[in-house]
Structures are given as structure tokens and as C-alpha cells.
């Protein structure tokens, strides 16, 4: 059976992994629609290489450049919010949601239509509006498959076991580039050092989140909604080798683990295969006999306070996860621009969360989620002007 794919975030790292898997399985998969952020030339190349019939950019100002780049190819194009939503509305069997950040929320929500499979790599959709997204998926009969490597491993390990059989789920973290650094060294970290991830080549935002361990906190929140767990059923272990991606501890004390090479194409292949496994090239197979010894350690919340803030936001519930995510996106951008030091990321997030009323309820739909997101961003920007967050 040939399945068509809509690829949101086509020019990013998840987009590349998805394109690789599709190219390896031309008899089973075809990319019909591609969506990018603002790089018109890169999206045009992807559209031509994949044989897509429609390409859309989120940045409305780049629409003319995209149209010129695709002139004579027969590929239709558009730009701006309406074009992205048009892309999502086009017929396809699988939507890969890999737009980074809260920007992917509206498109992910719009993709939830009857019978569709959503391969979800945009964790912020569940962080910002988890109950609304999962409720909508259940109501319309859409199926969400996790494309994050950790959640995908947990999903595969769980199999057909009921959620009631679970005692605990554990997500693993690489520890990022600062795993062995002292607090003093981390305090002086530069953007180029934070961007040097030991295992994955990813976009700047998610790489910085890995360095602060906020990424693992966001993944805990995502897992809570994705699997229907309580916060106390979730745990994190630092595992530098990134071979074990997730562990499930069952009520009877047995533990099952999901293992794979640190390669996003493994999770992408599982999602794109839907209910039937795809063949992978030999280079993607794990050989435990030649793998370095596997080690695990507890995360240090003193050196990585962002993880603790995410855990607190998950426990607080309501709108706090959405506020946490919005403040973090502003803080990461400020760090990359040289406006705040690395510890300022967690500092700014903590300050914005502290300003937020504890009784603020979780969003019921995407409009409410975006309103909460925008309010938190404005408050974060206002705090950035204060001397306490400036680089010294």
C-alpha cells in the first residue's frame, strides 16, 4: 500500500531523517506536500527532490522567492499562515509534524482529521495544549504516533500492554555537552559550546534545550499526555551513550527497554511504517557486542535547574507547561543572541513562571493555547530589559 506524506518542518533535522526513510521505501511512501519556515531556496530543493506537488513557507515575506525557485517545475506553492493550513488540509495519509516550537501547534491541531496518522515530533503541541490535542485526536479518530526517539521507544516497548500495567516510565537523556562541567563552567558557557551536542545534529533551539536539559523536561510533559500517566509515574536517567532511549517498569517489577542507535531515522521509520515495519539499511542496526559499556546516572538539578522547572510545571498543571515553554523559547533566543548568560535561560523561565497565577487553567483549544503563549512571551520580553538578566 502506497501512503502519502505531508512533511511539516521539511528542511529541519527531522525532515531530513523522514526524507531519507521515504527515499529508501519508494514503493510504500511518497511525499506529497512539504512545509518549511523561512528558507525558500532550501524548501524548493526539498520539494523538487521529493517530487512534492505543493510547498508552503510559514514566512509570508518569502513567498515570492519560493515561487520563483519553483517556476517551471509544476509544483504549486504558497506562503504565510493560510498557505501552511492549506498544506495541512491537502489529502495525505501521514502528517509528520516537525515544525519546531509553539509555531507547530496550530498546524498540528489542524492536521487532526479522521483516519489520519500524525507522526509527532513537535513536542510543544502536547506541552502547550496536551489535553486539547489528545482529546481532539480521540474525538475525530486521528492516530498520534510519537516521533521523538524517547517516546517512540516507550511506545514500542509498551506494545499492547494497558496503561494500568505501568508502574513507571523512564526517559533517558544524553546529558548534553555540559554533563561533566561544573556549575562555574556552565555559568560561563558560550553559545557555540552549548550547540556542540555529543550525539545528534539538530536545530539550534532543541540543541540548547538539550544543553540545559529543558528538552528532557518538555519530553516529560509530553509523555504525561501522550501515555495518560501521572507526573509521579515519570522519571529521567542520564545515559551518555544514548543507546537505551526509554524504559518501562511494569507493576510486577519487570523492566523493558527500547534500544537503538542514536539515529532519528529509526523512530521515523517506525512511524512511517504505521502498522508494518520498514526495512532499514545494515548501518542502522545496533551491535551490542561492539557498543561501549552503557552507563546511567541521576540528573543533577542543581547544575541543570531547567529540568526542575519543567518538573514543577508538570506538577502544577493547568497552563504552567505552556507558560514554561513560551518563556523558554524567548530565553533560548536571548542566549543565542548574546543577551543573557547560559544560567539566564532557567532564570528567565523561573521568573515568568513565578509571575503566573497558579490557578490559570489549561487551554481548551488551540486559540486559548496561543493566547497563553503570547502573554508569557510578552512578560518574558519585558523581564529581559531588566539588568538582572543581562550578560556581565
Total-model pTM? 0.94
In a domain, 158, yes or no: no
pLDDT reported for residue 391: 60
Give the whole-angstrom CA distance, residue 315 versus residue 309: 10
How many separate domains does the chain show? 2
Asked if residue 122 lies in contact with residue 151, where contact means CB atoms within 8 angstroms, the answer is no
Give the whole-angstrom CA distance, residue 283 versus residue 180: 30
pLDDT reported for residue 246: 98
Instruction: Give residue 384's Cα distance to chain centre.
Output: 25
In a domain, 371, yes or no: yes
Q: Can you give the residue range of the structural domain that contains 336?
A: 317-392
Give the whole-angstrom CA distance, residue 295 versus residue 301: 19
pLDDT reported for residue 103: 79
CATH number for position 391: 1.10.1740.10
Q: Which of 130, 147, 164 is the last residue of a domain?
A: 147
pLDDT reported for residue 358: 78
In a domain, 196, yes or no: no
Q: What is the 3-state secondary structure (H, E, C) of 276-325?
A: CCCCCCHHHCCCHHHCCCCCCECCCCCCCHHHHHHHHHHHHCCCHHHHHH
In a domain, 182, yes or no: no
Instruction: Give how far Cα 250 sits from Cα of 166, 255, 266, 386, Å.
Output: 4, 6, 25, 48
pLDDT tens-place values along the chain, 392 residues long: 899 999 999 999 999 999 999 999 999 999 999 999 999 999 999 999 999 999 999 999 999 999 999 999 999 999 999 999 999 999 999 999 999 877 789 999 999 999 999 999 998 899 999 999 999 999 999 999 999 999 999 999 999 999 999 999 999 999 999 999 999 999 999 999 999 887 777 788 989 999 999 999 999 999 999 999 999 999 999 999 999 999 999 999 999 999 999 999 999 999 999 989 999 999 999 999 999 899 999 999 999 999 999 999 999 999 999 999 999 999 999 999 999 999 999 999 999 999 998 788 999 999 999 999 999 999 999 999 885 666 65
Q: Which of 126, 147, 168 is the last residue of a domain?
A: 147
pLDDT reported for residue 357: 81
In a domain, 208, yes or no: no
In a domain, 369, yes or no: yes
Instruction: Give residue 274's Cα distance to chain centre.
Output: 19
Q: Is 217 helix (H, G, I), strand (E, B) or coil?
A: helix
**Among 166, 125, 173, 170, CA closest to 147:** 125
pLDDT reported for residue 101: 76
Asked if residue 21 lies in contact with residue 121, where contact means CB atoms within 8 angstroms, the answer is no
Amino acid at each position: 500500500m502506497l501512503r502519502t506524506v505531508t512533511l511539516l518542518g521539511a528542511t529541519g533535522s527531522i525532515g531530513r531523517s523522514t526524507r531519507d526513510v521515504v527515499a529508501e521505501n519508494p514503493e510504500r511512501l511518497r511525499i506529497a506536500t512539504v512545509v518549511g519556515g523561512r528558507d525558500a531556496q532550501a524548501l524548493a530543493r526539498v520539494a523538487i527532490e521529493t517530487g512534492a506537488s505543493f510547498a508552503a513557507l510559514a514566512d509570508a515575506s518569502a513567498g515570492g522567492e519560493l515561487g520563483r525557485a519553483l517556476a517551471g517545475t509544476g509544483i504549486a506553492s504558497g506562503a504565510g499562515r493560510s498557505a501552511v493550513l492549506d498544506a495541512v488540509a491537502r489529502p495525505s495519509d501521514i502528517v509528520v509534524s516537525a515544525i519546531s516550537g509553539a509555531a507547530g501547534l496550530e498546524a498540528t491541531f489542524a492536521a487532526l482529521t479522521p483516519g489520519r496518522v500524525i507522526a509527532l515530533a513537535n513536542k510543544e503541541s502536547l506541552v502547550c495544549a496536551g489535553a486539547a490535542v489528545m482529546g481532539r485526536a480521540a474525538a475525530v479518530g486521528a492516530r498520534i504516533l510519537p516521533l521523538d526517539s524517547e517516546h517512540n521507544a516507550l511506545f514500542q516497548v509498551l506494545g499492547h500492554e494497558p496503561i494500568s500495567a505501568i508502574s513507571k516510565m523512564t526517559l533517558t537523556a544524553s546529558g548534553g555537552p555540559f554533563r561533566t562541567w561544573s556549575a562555574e563552567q556552565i555559568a560561563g558557557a558560550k553559545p557555540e559550546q552549548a550547540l556542540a551536542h555529543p550525539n545528534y545534529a539538530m536545530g539550534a533551539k532543541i540543541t540548547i534545550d538539550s544543553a540545559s536539559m529543558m528538552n528532557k523536561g518538555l519530553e516529560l510533559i509530553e509523555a504525561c499526555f501522550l501515555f495518560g500517566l501521572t507526573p509521579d509515574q515519570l522519571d529521567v536517567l542520564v545515559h551518555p551513550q544514548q543507546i537505551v532511549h526509554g524504559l518501562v517498569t511494569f507493576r510486577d517489577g519487570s523492566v523493558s527497554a527500547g534500544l537503538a542507535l542514536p539515529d532519528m531515522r529509526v523512530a521515523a521509520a517506525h512511524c512511517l511504517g504505521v502498522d508494518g515495519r520498514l526495512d532499514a539499511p545494515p548501518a542502522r542496526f545496533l551491535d551490542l557486542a561492539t557498543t561501549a559499556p552503557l552507563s546511567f546516572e541521576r540528573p543533577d538539578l542543581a547544575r541543570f535547574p531547567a529540568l526542575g522547572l519543567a518538573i514543577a510545571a508538570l506538577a502544577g498543571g493547568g497552563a504552567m507547561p505552556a507558560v514554561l515553554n513560551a518563556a523558554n523559547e524567548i530565553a533560548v533566543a536571548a542566549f543565542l543572541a548574546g543577551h543573557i548568560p547560559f544560567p539566564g535561560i532557567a532564570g528567565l523561565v523561573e521568573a515568568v513562571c513565578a509571575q503566573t497565577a497558579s490557578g490559570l487553567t489549561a487551554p481548551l483549544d488551540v486559540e486559548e493555547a496561543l493566547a497563553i503563549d503570547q502573554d508569557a512571551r510578552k512578560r518574558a520580553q519585558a523581564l529581559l530589559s531588566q539588568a538582572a538578566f543581562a550578560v556581565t
